[in-house]
Structure 1
Amino acid sequence: MSEVTPASAAMHQRDQVAKGLQIEIDRAVAGEATASLTVTLEMTNGLGTCHGGIIFSLADTAMGHASNAGDARSLATTASIEWVAAAKQGDRLTATSRTVATRGRNTVHDVDVVNDAGETIAIFRGQTLTLGGSVVDAVGDRPE
């Protein structure tokens, strides 16, 4: 991880899905985050391309870090994705999330997912709800 807030680092340390998918958090500051992964054979579908759910998970992870990096717990309430191009085994995918609108406790995020050649793979839009409370202190009953 490079430029990440303490809240983002704490959240990533507890994220078992991100660990399983080998998602790296490249940058996470309040309202902006970048996450990446390399497509493995296990991430491909029956047509030999990256499963759409993997791409969605990467984009959702980037949005989660953008919305939680300021250390105020936020959860996704809606999300949609447009798959523009196929990704294949060996591709390095990068999801960049940015806040585009905020009203009260609701925030809209746009996430662009590109491959290592800079080609757009997917466009994701999601909304989060800020619940409050510290991300750093939100341990719950998850294993460390």
Structure 2
Amino acid sequence: MSAPVSAEGLDPTALARACADAMWADDKASQGLGMEIVEVGPGRAVIAMTVRDAMVNGHGICHGGFVFTLADSAFAFACNSHNQSTVASHCAVAFLRPGKLGERLVATAHERWREGRSGITDVTVANADGETIAEFRGNSRTIRGTLIPETAGG
């Protein structure tokens, strides 16, 4: 039996991965939409999702809510990569072109600023051709708690 994971002694990249693994274990929304974590690191995350039939709206394109959700998930994994429980306080999205049925969309999140309990993270959602589908900006707020224990003892 392996020892419980703790933040103690982890380098920032390993800590970000451990935080992502801990979040992913309970993230039924992202899992249920078929998202996958492509990459994660300190203040950054790349999450991908393929547009399925149930995600297409009456115009025959990916419903904006699913594009927003993909960006929001990438935002969440980037914000929580420092082992401080963090939630969204405000988010905005600009839809630039439609996502299409069968397309693999990739959301790339980069933390732009973090100080005290607040942060700003930008997310670009693109298709496989590298065309930008949407730009998302999220404001984050750190709350109480961590994703993984600070030490093996709790």
Tell whether the structures are fold-level matches, with TM greater than 0.5: yes
Q: Structure 1: give runs of 5+ residues left out of the alignment.
A: 138-144
Q: Structure 2-normalised TM-score?
A: 0.84
Which of 117, 123, 126 matches 1:114?
A: 126
Report if aligned partners of 1:109, 1:125 keep a CA contact under 8 Å in 2: yes
In our comparison, the structure showing a higher alpha carbon Rg is 2
Give the counterpart letter for 1:34 in structure 2: V
- Please tell me whether residue 71 in structure 1 is matched to residue 71 in structure 2: no
Residues in 1 aligned to 2:144 and 2:78: alpha-carbon distance in whole angstroms:
15
Aligned match of 1:25 in 3, 12, 37? 37
Partner AA of 1:81 in structure 2: V
User: In 2, Cα distance between the equivalents of 1:69 and 1:132?
Assistant: 15
String of CA shifts for 1:109-132, please: whole Å, max 9, x gaps.
Answer: 000000001000000000111114
Q: Which amino acid aligns with 2:41?
A: V
Q: Which stretches of structure 1, 4 residues or more, deviate above 4 A after TM superposition?
A: none
Corresponding residue for 1:141?
Answer: none
For each residue in 1:51-78, what CA deviation from the matched residue of structure 2 results, as whole angstroms up to 9, or x when unmatched?
0000000000000000112211000000
The corresponding residue for 2:105 is 93
When the two structures are superposed, what TM-score results if normalisation uses the length of structure 1? 0.89
CA separation in 1, counterparts of 2:45 and 2:131?
19
* 2: CA distance, partners of 1:135 / 1:29: 15
CA RMSD of aligned residues (A): 1.3
Q: How many corresponding residue pairs?
A: 135
Task: In structure 2, give the amino acid aligned to 1:82.
Answer: A
